[in-house]
A and B are shown apart, each in its own frame.
Chain A
Amino acid sequence: MVDIIDVLLTHGPALIIAVPLFGAFLTPLISRLNDKARNIFVIAVMGLTEFIVLLLAYDIFTTNGVHTYTFGSKQPLLTLPSGYLVPVRIIFEIDGLSIFMGIIAVTLALVASIYSWSFMRKEDGLDKYYTLLLLLTTGMLGMVSTGDMFNFFVFLEITSIASAALVAFRVNKGESQEAAFKYIVLSSIGALFVLFAVAILYGQYDALNIATLANRIRYTFLDKVALVLLVASLGMKAGIVPMHMWLPDAYGEAPASVTIAIVAATQASLYALIRMCFTLYGGITSVATIGWILIILAMASIFIGVTMALLQSDFKRMIAYAAVAEIGYMVLGIGVGLALLFSRTPYSVKAIQGGIFHIINDALDVGLLFLVAGAVFYATKERLLDRLGGLARNMRYSTIFFIIGALAVAGMPPMNGFASKLLIYESTYQVSPILAVVAILASILLLAVMVKIFHSAFMGPPLVKAADVPKTMLIAMAILAALIIFFGLFPNIVVENMVKPAADALINQATYISQVLGGV
């Protein structure tokens, strides 16, 4: 047993990519047997990937170390073979932040696959749907695990293409095709600029490994160009205002099970933005300027996201705009931390912790709300709030899940969203009290958005016929709701055991470089 765990830990970084990728290629074959076997297989593959990710997470969080894996090498743990000055192979570098994001990605993907069992049952082409879902999971896990810039671009493209195809899955709907078209256009443009930045860095330093680049970077004129290209492209992929406009379209038109997977993909792009700023350019003081820009864009995201949400009457688009505001809170925490990175004040660390904690909270809260929106659509075939009413009478469990998700997104105590927002408010207050006040007011507006949905869809007389959704959909929602309540009641356990190691991995750039390159 110990041997198996050792093998899983050693080859874990490769397995978390290999398992869903292999599963993706097998899915169409198993789909030929029968639908039930395919669904069980996909959930099993996701479950196995989750198990390996959690095993790696336990090891990384308890040792505060970095797991490296060199592909194609006889000794995968050796990043620098004798005689080599720089890593020449593709290396996966999984530290506290990488595995933190990996947990989010694979958990949402697992929940999406459970939810899909009933939610997508009546759709055609489900072999392709599940294959794409597994490919999307592979892409996300690759994005957060790789330590190679070009390899990151490859995984970014895998994620974008799989996401766009899944957004367009309901081929009979014109809106889905339009949303997917917008998504793929913007993703391709963003990815091309990322590739341009990678080429600039490679041209200067003859290296693609992030740790090597971080060690060599001199912040030349071209490095500045590469930094701007990376921040703008990944900011757009992360849905930061005013580059967010693809997000309500994609989130709104995709099936709910796809939407929560794309939430994780968006967060993987945010991870990449954070990684580039803190690890690749972390040793350069000018990167603090990016922190201030992120603070401004975060405030715009929060305010525009929440006010636009208030205007909507489509259930999913409302939550999508609320998700834009939530992205703003994450970026605000990270921006404050980045702006004050070199001052090393206690609240700069707290800001980063708040931002990172909010990433996982947002994934759970917004994810749950999208699943409830999907459940409402499944039961009523309606998305417009004006045509809904009285659902609480017949969809009791879904109503309870909505209340949990809504309170969490609005940052109401004792939910998880409150704990992470409190960390962000307090640290932002140190930078500017006005910013903190606006952020708090926007959170109150988020509550107003949730009240609007609750009143329109769940209260009042029943305007549409509805019955609660099948068990697998309820189980998927229950998993997220249970995690929200646990994270809300025991925030310190989550912060101490998961968020702090992730934040420390981000802040300590020198440790990352030395653990990957062995003290080069």
Chain B
Amino acid sequence: MFTLETGSGFWNPIIWIGVIFIALLIAYVIRGFGRRDYKRDTEQTKPFLSGNVEPDKELVHLRAKNLYWGFKETLKGYYEILRKIHNGMVSDYVLWFVIIMCILFIVMGVL
């Protein structure tokens, strides 16, 4: 009832949830072996930012445009091509339709 046969294997979400629960339980037990001299909300819990003072969390927010900067920078050439294609011109949209139709005509042996 719960098992989906996928051809080469199977998928059972109930078993998966059970496994995740056990994994979390093991993680919790391991956490119990942690240092006992840990003191919450003291100097030892503050992050070290190369000597800089940690700014107030309410004042820090990484904006969407800055996220995945490295990824976008690495793929700059690829994104330039995509930007040129997505130019918002409806005539170019139609052109892509015509191009695909021509390719299909050639592949299917019409042309």
Residue pair A426, B9 in contact (C-beta under 8 Å): yes
- For the complex, would chain B's binding face be called helix, strand, loop or mixed by DSSP majority? helix
Task: Using A289-B107, A455-B67 as known contacts, say yes or no to A186 and B90 having CB atoms under 8 A apart.
Answer: yes
* In the complex, B49 has a CB within 8 A of chain A: no
Q: Which of A228, A249, A310, A448 has the most CB of B within 10 A?
A: A228
A105–B68 Cα gap in the complex (Å)? 36
Residue pair A426, B8 in contact (C-beta under 8 Å): yes
Chain A residue numbers with a CB within 8 Å of B88 are: 249
B83 to A, closest residue via Cβ: A311
A429 to B, closest residue via Cβ: B8
* Nearest CB on A from B15, distance (A): 10
Chain A residue numbers with a CB within 8 Å of B105 are: 225, 228
Task: Using A456-B64, A461-B57 as known contacts, say yes or no to A242 and B85 having CB atoms under 8 A apart.
Answer: yes
B75 to A, closest residue via Cβ: A307
Binary flags per residue of B56-76, CB closer than 8 Å to A gives 1, else 0: 011111111101100110010
Chain B residue numbers with a CB within 8 Å of A488 are: 13
Mark the stretch among A51-59, A124-132, A490-498 that contacts chain B: A490-498
A488 to B, closest residue via Cβ: B13
Q: Which of B13, B88, B94 has the most CB of A within 10 A?
A: B13
Task: Using A189-B94, A242-B96 as known contacts, say yes or no to A426 and B7 having CB atoms under 8 A apart.
Answer: yes
A190–B8 Cα gap in the complex (Å)? 39
Binary flags per residue of B67-103, CB closer than 8 Å to A gives 1, else 0: 1100110010011001001101010111011011101
* Nearest CB on B from A495, distance (A): 6
B14 to A, closest residue via Cβ: A489
Q: Which of B32-66 contact A (CB under 8 A)?
A: 57-65
* In the complex, B27 has a CB within 8 A of chain A: no
A232–B93 Cα gap in the complex (Å)? 13
Point out the residue from A228, A236, A346, A456 that lies within 8 Å of B108, measured CB to CB.
A228
A426–B11 Cα gap in the complex (Å)? 12
Residue pair A492, B58 in contact (C-beta under 8 Å): no
Chain B residue numbers with a CB within 8 Å of A453 are: 64
Point out the residue from A422, A452, A461 that lies within 8 Å of B11, measured CB to CB.
A422
* Nearest CB on B from A372, distance (A): 16
Q: Which of A214-246 contact B (CB under 8 A)?
A: 221, 224-225, 227-229, 231-232, 235-236, 242-243, 245-246
Residue pair A286, B108 in contact (C-beta under 8 Å): yes
Task: Using A186-B90, A186-B97, A227-B108 as known contacts, say yes or no to A308 and B64 having CB atoms under 8 A apart.
Answer: no
Interface residues on A, range: 35 or more
Residue pair A491, B13 in contact (C-beta under 8 Å): yes
Chain A residue numbers with a CB within 8 Å of B65 are: 313, 386
* In the complex, A470 has a CB within 8 A of chain B: no
Chain A residue numbers with a CB within 8 Å of B14 are: 489
* In the complex, A181 has a CB within 8 A of chain B: yes
B87 to A, closest residue via Cβ: A245
A311–B75 Cα gap in the complex (Å)? 11
Point out the residue from B60, B68, B82, B109 that lies within 8 Å of A224, measured CB to CB.
B109
Task: Using A242-B100, A426-B9 as known contacts, say yes or no to A307 and B94 having CB atoms under 8 A apart.
Answer: no
* In the complex, A441 has a CB within 8 A of chain B: no
Point out the residue from B62, B82, B109 that lies within 8 Å of A307, measured CB to CB.
B82
Residue pair B107, A308 in contact (C-beta under 8 Å): no
A312 to B, closest residue via Cβ: B64
Chain B residue numbers with a CB within 8 Å of A229 are: 101
A151–B37 Cα gap in the complex (Å)? 77
* In the complex, B4 has a CB within 8 A of chain A: yes
Chain B residue numbers with a CB within 8 Å of A249 are: 88
Binary flags per residue of A463-505, CB closer than 8 Å to B gives 1, else 0: 1000000000000000000000000111111010000000000
* Nearest CB on B from A172, distance (A): 20
* In the complex, A182 has a CB within 8 A of chain B: yes
Chain B residue numbers with a CB within 8 Å of A313 are: 64-65
* Nearest CB on A from B100, distance (A): 5
Task: Using A228-B110, A289-B107 as known contacts, say yes or no to A182 and B7 having CB atoms under 8 A apart.
Answer: no
Task: Using A228-B104, A347-B7, A426-B8 as known contacts, say yes or no to A190 and B97 having CB atoms under 8 A apart.
Answer: yes
Residue pair B94, A186 in contact (C-beta under 8 Å): yes
Task: Using A182-B90, A386-B63, A452-B68 as known contacts, say yes or no to A232 and B96 having CB atoms under 8 A apart.
Answer: no
Residue pair A245, B93 in contact (C-beta under 8 Å): yes
* Nearest CB on B from A405, distance (A): 17
19 contacts between A and B (CB under 8 A): A181-B90, A182-B90, A185-B90, A224-B108, A225-B105, A227-B108, A231-B104, A235-B100, A249-B88, A310-B68, A386-B65, A414-B13, A419-B11, A448-B68, A455-B67, A456-B67, A460-B61, A489-B14, A492-B5
| A binding-site residues for B, Cβ under 8 Å | 181-182, 185-186, 189-190, 193, 221, 224-225, 227-229, 231-232, 235-236, 242-243, 245-246, 249, 286, 289-290, 293, 297, 304, 307-308, 310-311, 313, 346-347, 350, 384-386, 389-390, 413-414, 418-419, 422-423, 426-427, 429, 448, 452-453, 455-456, 459-461, 463, 488-493, 495
- Given contact pairs A293-B103, A489-B13, A490-B2, enumerate 9 new A-B contacts (beta carbons under 8 Å): A224-B108, A307-B79, A347-B7, A350-B6, A427-B7, A456-B62, A456-B67, A461-B60, A463-B61
